[in-house]
Structure 1
């Protein structure tokens, strides 16, 4: 199982590349869609990491994929300058996926 990063930050991409995570740097909604399609098509990709700004840019598509696909898991990560905490994102994801408030 591989991770795949969809980021709008070269710094984030380089940092995660050093940890062995492949990915792409994009900025437009069409590029995000293409990157999501690429990750879904790759049977080895089990987790897609997407920065919060890009996730919000294609919010409806990301939500739809999370609700309908069992693979890959799509997880939002904070990007440079984003507000909020990772815990909030995880809590929101669990609430959307399971339907309970934790």
Structure 2
């Protein structure tokens, strides 16, 4: 299984390429959804890595995939400036993923 990056940031894209992870740089919601759907349809991709800003733009689709899709893991990473939210991101992730507030 391969990993695939969907990023809105050139620096993140280049860093992942250096680590051997393929990906794309997209900015518009339509482009993001297109690349996300292509990644889901690709049986060789097991982990889809998205930046936090990408997740914010397509949160509904990301949550739908996390709930219904068993073959792909979606991992959200910060860009080079770090996480934008001040809230504890681990608690936020647990709350978004399984609905339990800590």
Shorter-normalised TM range:
0.7 to 0.9
Which deviations, in whole Å up to 9, do the C-alpha atoms of 1:33-69 show, x marking residues without a partner? 0110111011011100000001001111111111110
1:9 equivalent in structure 2: 9
User: How far does residue 92 in structure 1 lie from its aligned partner after superposition?
Assistant: 3.4
**Is this contact kept in 1: 2:63–2:97, CA < 8 A?**
no
Which runs of 4 or more aligned residues in structure 1 lie more than 4 Å from their structure 2 counterparts after TM superposition? 98-102
Alignment TM-score, normalising by the size of structure 1: 0.85
TM-score of the two chains, using structure 2 as the length reference: 0.85
Which ranges in structure 1 are unaligned for 5 or more consecutive residues? Answer: none
Deviation of residue 13 (structure 1)? 0.6
When the two chains are superposed, the root-mean-square deviation of aligned CA atoms in Å is: 1.8
